[in-house]
Homo-oligomer: A and B are copies of this chain.
């Protein structure tokens, strides 16, 4: 086990698209900068919420280059390197580590189903071997509701044991607290991030490193309050607040809903665009979502200057 650079509220950053459907590097930089100003502990760009798997590897690498050229600190970045082929996964990992990123978030290969732990182990091993960098820090990305294929607790143990300086953490988007708790119990010092802030306080109390959560795109300050105050008497009340907001968001398709919120509060309608197979919220859904948020007293606050791309 080794030290690792990420703590707190990490955000799987939404990806803005231009009116022609291409990734919009300028608005992406502005949004990433704003998230860091809001207190994000790191940016897990190119995750599920980022529609990363709706972009080519080249598109993802160009966006990452854009962030670094704009001065976003590489050590704050944990790019997703999800790909079904070890060739592509290795290319994405090599690019990220070559640019000094703090880590990478690695999906298992997700096309074939019913694959064995041995097969996933071989995939991750070969990617690490192909990249061959001692600077590489891998965070395993466990999200069985979407990828279907996941990292079992035993497999995580085997990867930690084989690559103790490289496999340093995991994002658990199983939605199953028992799985998160088992990881925290079994691997002390391994950086476990629940994939939803609903489990943040419980995770911190068992030694979790923070969380990596979609709703961070619209609520870093609220979630940070739990992270900063988890040992205080206010912790449970703060957790209840962020859980309530999360549950309101979860009533809608998450990616289109988050983009609709950003579009509304930043007064930038183009932010609502998604790539297929996602579809934008319709007018009725949009109105209901914004009404739900108003009822909760939610606001994203003023559009900061840095959002001007």
Contacts and interface: CB of A to CB of B under 8 A. Distances in A.
A60 to B, nearest CB: 9
23 contacts: A48-B111, A53-B84, A53-B111, A54-B84, A54-B86, A55-B87, A56-B57, A56-B88, A56-B91, A57-B88, A59-B87, A86-B276, A109-B276, A111-B146, A112-B278, A115-B277, A115-B278, A116-B277, A119-B277, A119-B278, A122-B276, A122-B277, A149-B277
B87 A120 contact: no
Stoichiometry (number of copies)? 2
Interface string A51-66: 0011111110000000
Contacts of A119: 276-279
Interface string A17-60: 00001000000000000000000000000001000011111110
A119 B256 CA distance: 12
A123 B276 contact: yes
Nearest to A86: B276
A119 B276 CA distance: 5
A85 B55 contact: yes
Contacts of A112: 48, 53-54, 146, 277-278
A112 B82 CA distance: 13
Contacts of A247: none
Nearest to A54: B85
Interface in A230-253: none
Interface of A: 21, 48, 53-59, 82, 84-88, 91, 108-113, 115-116, 118-120, 122-123, 126, 145-149, 275-279
Nearest to A107: B111
A85 B56 contact: yes
Contacts of A275: 85-86
Nearest to A90: B56
A145 B135 CA distance: 38
A120 B278 CA distance: 8
A85 B110 CA distance: 14
A291 to B, nearest CB: 23
Contacts of A147: 111
Contacts of A53: 84-85, 109, 111-112
A23 to B, nearest CB: 9
Contacts of A85: 53-56, 59, 275
Nearest to A56: B87
Given A55-B87, A109-B276, A112-B278, 5 more contacts: A53-B85, A56-B57, A56-B88, A57-B88, A148-B148
